[in-house]
C-alpha cells in the first residue's frame, strides 16, 4: 500500500533540526518522531512528510492493532533489463519488461500502540538513493477519483477481478497509470468498510477534511443519514469507535437530526493528549498572532451566522431570532478576546526597595475544559474557549449531547481562522466524560454551566484534584415589581424575560414578586402572554418554539399540575396547545400561575420552561427576604420609579446580577457573570477581566541589578524593607 501525501502538517515542522543528522541524503529527512491519536494519523504523518522530502513510503509489515512498519518505496526508479544476444541475430533479440522497483532502501519507520496512542520511532532514517525530482512521476502518484472508487466498489460487488476492473476503468480514462495492486488496496479499504475518497486522492493540496466530512446541519448524500457526530481530536474530525450513541432530535418534528457517540475513554485520553502536546508551541505563539486568529474567527462567524442559527433552531428548537441572539451574545466575547494584548498585561513597580524592581505577568494554565448545557449551544461555548485559547491555553470542549452541532461548526470556523491542530478539541458524552474531565490530571481548569446538582458534583469532584472551577448554576431568578413601576414597560420586559426561548434560559425571570398586590397587573400580563405566537422555530414571526425534549415537557407539565393541587391559581394554561403541522412537537404555550408560596415544588425546583410564577407581598423588605432565602442566586431585578427603592434593593439583595428596570440578561464582556449564592461555586466568572483572571495565573518576578562590589560581603538576616 502506497501512502500518498498532501499538505505538510504544522506539527511536522517541530524537531526537524534534530532529525537532520540521522539522514545521509540531503533533502531526504526522516519524519520527526511523535505520538498520534490513531494508526491512520501516524501513517498520514509519515506519508505526507516523505512526499515533502522526495521519497515515497509503503507499509512493509502490519499488525493492525499493535504495530506498523513503514519502508521506502524507491518510487519510479526502474532498471532497464533489455538484453541483446548479438548484432548478427538481431531478429532474435529478446526484450525483457522494464520493472522491478528497487525496494532495498534501508529506511524504516515503526509505529507501535502504547497506552491507547500510537508512538512513532525511526529505526533507520537513511536512504541509498537520490530524491525524486518530480514526485508526480511515481506510478503511485496517480490515484483514483471519487467516481472511480465507487465504480471499483460496484464492480467488486459484481465479482470482477482487479485486472478486469482496471481494463474497464481505462476505457473511460486511457491515461490511467494505476496498477492492479492499487485496485487491491481499494478493495482492502472496502472490506474494512472505508470507502471514503480522501485515501485515494492525487498528490495535490487538500482542503480541510472538516468541510468535506462534517457539513453540520445538512448531511450530504455521501454520508450516513442521519449523521454521526464526530469528535475533534488533534485538529481532525474523527468518527468515534463507540457503539453507544444518543439521538439528537428536532424538538418541533421529532425527526432524528444526528447521533452523538458516547466517546470512549481511549478517545478522551487522545483528545487531552493532543491538547497537552499543542500547549507549549501555542503558549509560545506571540499574543498578537493569537489575537489575529480571533479577529478572523469573528469575521467567519458573521459570514456563516445564518447556517449557525439554522443549526441551533434545528437541534434546540428556539426561534431563529433567539438563535441569532444566542450567536451574537457569544460573538461579543470573541470580539472582547480580540483585545487580549492589552487585557493580559501585567504590572511593574520600579525600585520597590533599594535597587529592586518587581513585576507580574499573566501566564496560561495549560489544558482547560468546558462542560456546556443545551440552553445556549453557541453562546456558552463562545464564553469559554475563545478567551481560554487567546490567553494561551488549549481546550477540551464537551458540548451538550442534545444540541452539539453548532459547537462543531464553530470549531470548524476556528480551524479555518488559523487555530493550530490540538488547541481546540471536542468530545461527546454524558456522565463518564464529565467524570473523566474532573479526574484527568492534565486538565488544570474547568468551566461549567448547568443545573445546581450537577455543578455541586463537578465542583466537589474536580476541586479534590486541585483544579480551578468556574460555574454558573441556579436558574431561578426573581423580578420584584413595585406598585409605582411603569405598567407597559414592565409588562413587556416580564413577558420577554419569562417566555423568551420558551423559558429555557438560566437568566429567565421565572418568579414575579408583586409588592402591594397582583390585581392591577394580572389581566394585562395574561393578555400580553396570549398574544405570543407558538410555532416551530423555523417559521416566521415565532415567539416561542418547543422545549428541548418530551421528558422536559412532561416535567414542566407535572410541576404545573402539582402547583395547582397545592393551591396555586392557573391564570393561563399552555399545556394543551397544538401547533398545526407540528402536532408531535414538544410545545408548551405561555403559562402563568399565581398565589405561589415558597413551599411549593414549582418554586423550590429549577423550572426551565415558559412558566411564570406570581407571588404577592406587602413590602419591599419582604420581597428582598424571599429572594435572599431562595437557594438559587444568579440574579434578580426590580421594576420601580423610586430611586430609594432601587438603591435599597441593590444594596440588600444577595445575588450576582442585579437589574433595575431591566430583566436579568447575559452581561456584556466587560462585566463578570456571577452567581454569588451557591457555596460550592468557587469562581463563576466567564468573560471579561474576571474570565481572563480565571484562565491565567500570575507570576511575580523580583529582580535586582546593582553593583554589589562596594558591600562588605556580610549577609543580613533582617527582613528587607524600604
In terms of phi and psi (left: phi > 0; alpha: psi -120 to 50; beta: otherwise), the region of 365 is alpha
One-character DSSP codes across 523-535 = HHHHHHHHTS-B-
Q: How many CB atoms lie within 10 A of CB 199?
A: 19
Strand-pairing partners, residue 426, are 232, 397
Rg of the Cα atoms in the chain: 32
The yes-or-no answer on residue 506 being catalytic is: yes
Alpha-carbon gap, residue 594 to 564, rounded angstroms: 10
Distances (CA, A) of 443 to 424, 463, 662: 13, 12, 38
Q: Helix, strand or coil for residue 663?
A: coil
Asked if residue 548 lies in contact with residue 323, where contact means CB atoms within 8 angstroms, the answer is: no
Long-range contacts of 571-574 (CB under 8 A, 24+ apart): 571/522, 571/525, 571/526, 571/614, 572/526, 572/529, 572/530, 574/534, 574/610
Q: What is the DSSP letter of 544?
A: B
- With beta carbons less than 8 A apart as the criterion, state whether 513 and 478 touch: yes
d(CA 384, CA 414): 13
DSSP class of residue 155 equals: H
Strand order in the sheet with 227-228: 227-228, 256-261, 245-249
Cis previous bond, 226, omega within 30: yes
Residue 540 DSSP one-character state: T
Query: Do the beta carbons of residue 588 and residue 553 sit within 8 Å?
Result: yes
Q: Where do we find the cell 473523566?
A: 436
| DSSP 8-state code for residue 492 | H
Alpha-carbon torsion angle 120, 126, 132, 135, nearest 10: 0
H or E element, residue 433:
helix 431-439
Give the angle 251-257-263 at the CA atoms, nearest 5°.
110
Q: Pick the catalytic residue from 506, 557, 602, 614.
A: 506
Contact at 8 Å (CB) between 366 and 444?
Answer: yes
Collect all residues with Cβ–Cβ distance below 8 Å to 473 and sequence separation of at least 6.
448, 449, 450, 451, 452, 454, 455, 456, 506, 632, 634, 675, 678, 681
CA gap 661, 493 in Å, rounded: 8
Q: What are phi and psi of 716, to 5 degrees?
A: -115, 135
Beta bridge partners of 594: 569
Q: What CA–CA distances, in Å, run from 432 to 244, 262, 455, 493, 557?
A: 12, 8, 15, 40, 30
The residues carrying an active-site annotation are 506
Amino acid at each position: 500500500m502506497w501512502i500518498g501525501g498532501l499538505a505538510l502538517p504544522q506539527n511536522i515542522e517541530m524537531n526537524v533540526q534534530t532529525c537532520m543528522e540521522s539522514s545521509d541524503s540531503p533533502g531526504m529527512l526522516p519524519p520527526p518522531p511523535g505520538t498520534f491519536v490513531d494508526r491512520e494519523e501516524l501513517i498520514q504523518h509519515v506519508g505526507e512528510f516523505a512526499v515533502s522530502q522526495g521519497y515515497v513510503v509503503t507499509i512493509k509489515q502490519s499488525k493492525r492493532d499493535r504495530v506498523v512498519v513503514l519502508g521506502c518505496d524507491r518510487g519510479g526508479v526502474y532498471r532497464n533489463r533489455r538484453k541483446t544476444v548479438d548484432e548478427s541475430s538481431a531478429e532474435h533479440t529478446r526484450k525483457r519488461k522494464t520493472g522491478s522497483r528497487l525496494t532495498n532502501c534501508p529506511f524504516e519507520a515503526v509505529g507501535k500502540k502504547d497506552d491507547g496512542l500510537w508512538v512513532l520511532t525511526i529505526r533507520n532514517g537513511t536512504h541509498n538513493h537520490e530524491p525524486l525530482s518530480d514526485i508526480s512521476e511515481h506510478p503511485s502518484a496517480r490515484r483514483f477519483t471519487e467516481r472511480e472508487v465507487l465504480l471499483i466498489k460496484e464492480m467488486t460487488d459484481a465479482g470482477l477481478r482487479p485486472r478486469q476492473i482496471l481494463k474497464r476503468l481505462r476505457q473511460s480514462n486511457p491515461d490511467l497509470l494505476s496498477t492492479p495492486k492499487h485496485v487491491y488496496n481499494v478493495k482492502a479499504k472496502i472490506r474494512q468498510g472505508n470507502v471514503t475518497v480522501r485515501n485515494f486522492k492525487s498528490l495535490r493540496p487538500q482542503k480541510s477534511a472538516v468541510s468535506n466530512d462534517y457539513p453540520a446541519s445538512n448531511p450530504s448524500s455521501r454520508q450516513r443519514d442521519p449523521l454521526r457526530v464526530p469528535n475533534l481530536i488533534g485538529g481532525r474530525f474523527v468518527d468515534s469507535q463507540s457503539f453507544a450513541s444518543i439521538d439528537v432530535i428536532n424538538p418541533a418534528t421529532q425527526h432524528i437530526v444526528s447521533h452523538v457517540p458516547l466517546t470512549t475513554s481511549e478517545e478522551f485520553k487522545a483528545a487531552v493528549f493532543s491538547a497537552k502536546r499543542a500547549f507549549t508551541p501555542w503558549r509560545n505563539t506571540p499574543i498578537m498572532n493569537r489575537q489575529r486568529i480571533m479577529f478572523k474567527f469573528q469575521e467567519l462567524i458573521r459570514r456563516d451566522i445564518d447556517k449557525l442559527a439554522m443549526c441551533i433552531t434545528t437541534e434546540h428548537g428556539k426561534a431563529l431570532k433567539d438563535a441569532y441572539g444566542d450567536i451574537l451574545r457569544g460573538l461579543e466575547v470573541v470580539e472582547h478576546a480580540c483585545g487580549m494584548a492589552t487585557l493580559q498585561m501585567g504590572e511593574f513597580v520600579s525600585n520597590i526597595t533599594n535597587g529592586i524592581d518587581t513585576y507580574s505577568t499573566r501566564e496560561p494554565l495549560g489544558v482547560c475544559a468546558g462542560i456546556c448545557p443545551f440552553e445556549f449551544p453557541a453562546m456558552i461555548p463562545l464564553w469559554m474557549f475563545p478567551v481560554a485559547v487567546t490567553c494561551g491555553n488549549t481546550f477540551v470542549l464537551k458540548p451538550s449531547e442534545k444540541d452539539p452541532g453548532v459547537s462543531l461548526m464553530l470549531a470548524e470556523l476556528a480551524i479555518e481562522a488559523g487555530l493550530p491542530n490540538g488547541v481546540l478539541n471536542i468530545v461527546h458524552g454524558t456522565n463518564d466524560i464529565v467524570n473523566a474531565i474532573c479526574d484527568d490530571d492534565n486538565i488544570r481548569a474547568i468551566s461549567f454551566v448547568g443545573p445546581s446538582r450537577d455543578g455541586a458534583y463537578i465542583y466537589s469532584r474536580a476541586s479534590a484534584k486541585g483544579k480551578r472551577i468556574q460555574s454558573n448554576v441556579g436558574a431561578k431568578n426573581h423580578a420584584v415589581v413595585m406598585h409605582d413601576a411603569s405598567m407597559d414597560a414592565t409588562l413587556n420586559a416580564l413577558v420577554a424575560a419569562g417566555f423568551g426561548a420558551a423559558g429555557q434560559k438560566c437568566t429567565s425571570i421565572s418568579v414575579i414578586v408583586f409588592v402591594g398586590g397582583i390585581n392591577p397587573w394580572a389581566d394585562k400580563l395574561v393578555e400580553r402572554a396570549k398574544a405570543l405566537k407558538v410555532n416551530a422555530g423555523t417559521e416566521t414571526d415565532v415567539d416561542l418554539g418547543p422545549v428541548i425534549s418530551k421528558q422536559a415537557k412532561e416535567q414542566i407539565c407535572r410541576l404545573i399540575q402539582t402547583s395547582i393541587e397545592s393551591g396555586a391559581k392557573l391564570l393561563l394554561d399552555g399545556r394543551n396547545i397544538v401547533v398545526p403541522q407540528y402536532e408531535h412537537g414538544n410545545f408548551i404555550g405561555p403559562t402563568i400561575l399565581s398565589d405561589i408560596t415558597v413551599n411549593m415544588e414549582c418554586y423550590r425546583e429549577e423550572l426551565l420552561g415558559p412558566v411564570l410564577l406570581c407571588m404577592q407581598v406587602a413590602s419591599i423588605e419582604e420581597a428582598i427576604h424571599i429572594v435572599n432565602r431562595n437557594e438559587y442566586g444568579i440574579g434578580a431585578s426590580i421594576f420601580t420609579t423610586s430611586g430609594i427603592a432601587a438603591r435599597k434593593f441593590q444594596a440588600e439583595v444577595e445575588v450576582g446580577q442585579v437589574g433595575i428596570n431591566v430583566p436579568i440578561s447575559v452581561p456584556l464582556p466587560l462585566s463578570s457573570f456571577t452567581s454569588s449564592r451557591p457555596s460550592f461555586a468557587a469562581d463563576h466568572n466567564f468573560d471579561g477581566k474576571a474570565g481572563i483572571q480565571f484562565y491565567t495565573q500570575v507570576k511575580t518576578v523580583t529582580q535586582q541589578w546593582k553593583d554589589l562590589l562596594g558591600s562588605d560581603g556580610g549577609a543580613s538576616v533582617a527582613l528587607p524593607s524600604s
